[in-house]
Amino acid sequence: MCAAVKEDFRVVCLGGSAGGLQAYTDTLRPMPSDTGMAFVIAPHRSSEKSSLLLDILARVTTMPVIEVQDGMLLEPNRVYLMPPHMEMTVENNEFVLQPQRKLRGWPTTISVFLLSLAEAYRHRAIAVIFSGVGCDGSSALKAIKAAGGLTFAQSDAVFDDMPRHADETGHVDF
């Protein structure tokens, strides 16, 4: 069970897959370095593209871009990148990493993170579902909404499966 944190900042999870890179960079580029929010990039990706994504994101934002490590403290005014092949949750304001379970079908790493985010950050949780194939993230939107958080789905996605599935849940605010 995740304990609620006492810090008063919002955590924005940007979840995506195929076609998500452009959405990540378009979202981060105009952000000032002192938004008071933490941004967590939760992509589906392979380990060989790990350092490339980190470098690309670091070039489009003035906020520090950090690949998450187990036990790392979640702080505002930073961009955190989920490592490949890991399931990530947040407990007591710290990231918890475990090897990704071998599942049939599409990954569920975004949903796993969003469920923990809803529990830990309640009304300060924000979920954004970007371009991608499959439906990862959709099943967790109800929990974000029930906790009082906000939800978004990209309307102009290159691959519209993920945002379309999110919208079809009836739990997307924007």
pLDDT number for residue 105: 67
Helix axis angle, 20-28 relative to 50-60, nearest 10°? 30
Residue pointed to by tokens 């529990």: 119
Q: How far apart are CA 14 and CA 40, in angstroms?
A: 6
Beta strands in the chain, from DSSP E residues, in sequence order? 10-16, 37-43, 65-67, 78-81, 86-91, 94-99, 125-129, 150-153
Q: Judge whether residue 59 has pLDDT over 80.
A: yes
Q: In what order do the strands lie in the sheet with 10-16?
A: 65-67, 78-81, 37-43, 10-16, 125-129, 150-153
Q: Judge whether residue 7 has pLDDT over 80.
A: no
Higher pLDDT, 57 or 107: 57
Q: Judge whether residue 4 has pLDDT over 60.
A: no
Q: How far apart are CA 106 and CA 30, in angstroms?
A: 31
Task: Please say whether the beta carbons of 162 and 137 come within 8 A.
Answer: yes
**Residue 143 CA from chain centroid, whole number:** 14
pLDDT number for residue 48: 55
In this predicted model, what pLDDT tens digit does every residue of 120-173 receive, in sequence order? 999 999 999 999 999 999 999 999 999 999 999 999 999 999 999 999 999 999
In this predicted model, what pLDDT tens digit does every residue of 70-89 receive, in sequence order? 999 999 999 999 999 899 99
What are the tokens at 140?
């967790």
Half-sphere exposure in the Cβ direction for 15 (13 Å, CA): 33
In this predicted model, what pLDDT tens digit does every residue of 11-21 receive, in sequence order? 999 999 988 99
pLDDT number for residue 47: 59
**What is the average pLDDT score of the chain?**
91
Task: Please say whether the beta carbons of 132 and 19 come within 8 A.
Answer: yes
Handedness of CA 164, 170, 171, 174 (dihedral sign): positive
